């Protein structure tokens, strides 16, 4: 998947709030002066009139972390979701079916792309729309494929990984968001895209000549062939590696370069609902991830919510691109922090 730009050249309580209407009584004092028989004589009448002011009632759903955890496990149980494999096909069918069950309009964008070693991949970008007729929209996205080799591990480096956090966690959060959208019906249109072939990028230290843009093949393909002509949502939010225990999400450089106002909006929402321990105000180096191509090619201002770990060389979680990226790496509390923050952002868009 991704790698830090300065490491690799190629890649990179809160309870539910149901706000009750607030009734404010404004005391208006009217000073009425009028003349009696004596024009110099004035009588002051003080009248108190109650005026009712209603605030907008915004009900933000409660993100169910147990549900999201289940969605992670369901994907992992298929096995590694590497393009051109049976588990990949089975998981694709599951994701399409699940999104349809949440009353999203779903299409699958099929395409052919080639990897760093010239292997052809048949990709499936899964695109789901809530209120497809609405022109005012938000884009949410994640990648659903997994790394075909454990190049950062010390053993079984040529075998694919489970990708529980790197892949499945972002998808799982968005599935639970979709479920909540179906139940609560926000006013704005929402698009969810699960990009394919994100994690088939050239490994560091491979024998072949270093190539550019070998990761994020699905998002590159979609950015050049969007599912709708002149598609222009307000902004995009990418979720990647959002399931790790005690994860920290920083404002990374690509997001700040292309969509600083979106980053501020999301981090402010996290702070407001009590998740500053996850969403750090620290700014960190830019990375190459799906959002880069959505910004550069599709011209949609987009940010990346992605785990940052200052203790590792890559600045990604220690399990990144290893066989330790399994269900033991997933924490429901982190899924909750990310998912609830996302719902806060969505339901407060007007």
Region 58-72: what's the mean pLDDT? 96
Q: Provide the 3-class DSSP secondary structure of residue 16.
A: coil
2 secondary structure, DSSP code: -
Q: Does the pLDDT at position 151 exceed 60?
A: yes
User: At 204, is the pLDDT very low, low, confident or very high (cuts 50, 70, 90)?
Assistant: confident
At 33 the pLDDT is 35
Which positions ≥6 away from 43 have C-beta within 8 Å? 33, 34, 36
pLDDT tens for 82-98 read 999 999 999 999 999 99
Structure tokens belonging to residue 203: 């490994």
| Euclidean distance between CA atoms 11 and 312, whole angstroms | 16
| Euclidean distance between CA atoms 85 and 65, whole angstroms | 29
This prediction has a pTM of 0.85
DSSP 272-314: HTT-TTTEEEEEE--B-SHHHHHHHTS---EEEEEB--TTSSS
User: Distance of CA 21 to CAs 58, 59, 281, Å?
Assistant: 9, 11, 33
At 24 the pLDDT is 37
Q: Does the pLDDT at position 56 exceed 90?
A: no
User: At 49, is the pLDDT very low, low, confident or very high (cuts 50, 70, 90)?
Assistant: very low
| 8 Å CB contact between 338 and 278 | yes
27 secondary structure, DSSP code: -
Domain extents in the chain = 65-347
At 210 the pLDDT is 82
User: At 66, is the pLDDT very low, low, confident or very high (cuts 50, 70, 90)?
Assistant: very high
Q: Does the pLDDT at position 20 exceed 80?
A: no
In sequence order, what are the beta bridge partners of 92? Answer: none
Region 211-233: what's the mean pLDDT? 96
User: At 28, is the pLDDT very low, low, confident or very high (cuts 50, 70, 90)?
Assistant: very low
| Euclidean distance between CA atoms 306 and 340, whole angstroms | 15
Region 299-303: what's the mean pLDDT? 98
User: At 350, is the pLDDT very low, low, confident or very high (cuts 50, 70, 90)?
Assistant: confident
Region 246-261: what's the mean pLDDT? 98
Alpha-helix residue ranges (DSSP H) falling in the chain: 65-77, 86-101, 170-184, 217-224, 253-258, 260-272, 290-296, 332-347
At 1 the pLDDT is 52
Q: At what angle do helices 332-347 and 170-184 cross, to 10 degrees?
A: 50
User: At 58, is the pLDDT very low, low, confident or very high (cuts 50, 70, 90)?
Assistant: confident
DSSP 223-255: HHS-SSTT---S-EEEEES--BTT--EEEEHHH
Q: At what angle do helices 260-272 and 332-347 cross, to 10 degrees?
A: 110
**Architecture of the domain whose range is 65-347:** 3-Layer(aba) Sandwich (3.40)
Region 307-319: what's the mean pLDDT? 96
Output Rg (C-alpha) for the chain, integer angstroms: 25
């Amino acid at each position: 998947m991704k790698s830090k730009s300065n490491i690799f050249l190629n890649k990179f309580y809160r309870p539910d709030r149901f706000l009750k209407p607030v009734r404010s009584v404004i005391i208006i004092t009217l000073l009425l002066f009028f003349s009696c028989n004596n024009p110099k004589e004035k009588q002051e009448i003080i009248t108190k009139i109650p005026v009712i002011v209603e605030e907008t009632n915004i009900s933000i759903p409660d993100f169910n972390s147990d549900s999201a955890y289940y969605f992670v496990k369901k994907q992992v149980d298929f096995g590694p979701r590497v393009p051109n494999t049976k588990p990949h096909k089975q998981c694709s069918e599951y994701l399409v079916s699940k999104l349809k069950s949440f009353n999203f309009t779903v299409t699958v964008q099929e395409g052919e792309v080639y990897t760093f070693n010239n292997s052809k991949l048949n990709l499936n970008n899964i695109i789901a729309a809530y209120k497809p007729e609405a022109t005012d929209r938000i884009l949410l996205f994640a990648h659903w494929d997994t790394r075909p080799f454990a190049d950062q591990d010390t053993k079984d480096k040529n075998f694919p990984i489970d990708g529980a956090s790197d892949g499945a966690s972002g998808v799982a959060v968005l599935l639970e968001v979709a479920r909540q959208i179906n139940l609560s019906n926000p006013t704005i249109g929402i698009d969810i895209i699960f990009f394919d072939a994100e994690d088939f990028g050239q490994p560091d230290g491979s024998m072949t000549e270093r190539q550019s843009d070998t990761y994020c093949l699905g998002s590159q393909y979609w950015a050049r062939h969007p599912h709708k002509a002149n598609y222009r949502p307000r902004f995009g939010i990418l979720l990647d590696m959002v399931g790790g225990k005690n994860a920290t999400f920083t404002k990374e450089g690509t997001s700040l370069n292309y969509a600083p106002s979106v980053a501020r909006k999301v981090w402010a929402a996290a702070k407001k609902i009590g998740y500053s321990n996850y969403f750090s105000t620290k700014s960190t180096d830019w990375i190459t991830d799906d959002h880069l191509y959505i910004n550069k090619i599709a011209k949609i201002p987009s940010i990346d919510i992605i785990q940052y770990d200052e203790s590792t060389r890559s600045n990604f979680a220690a399990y990144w691109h290893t066989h330790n990226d399994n269900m033991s790496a997933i924490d429901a509390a982190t899924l909750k922090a990310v998912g609830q923050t996302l719902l806060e952002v969505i339901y407060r868009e007007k």
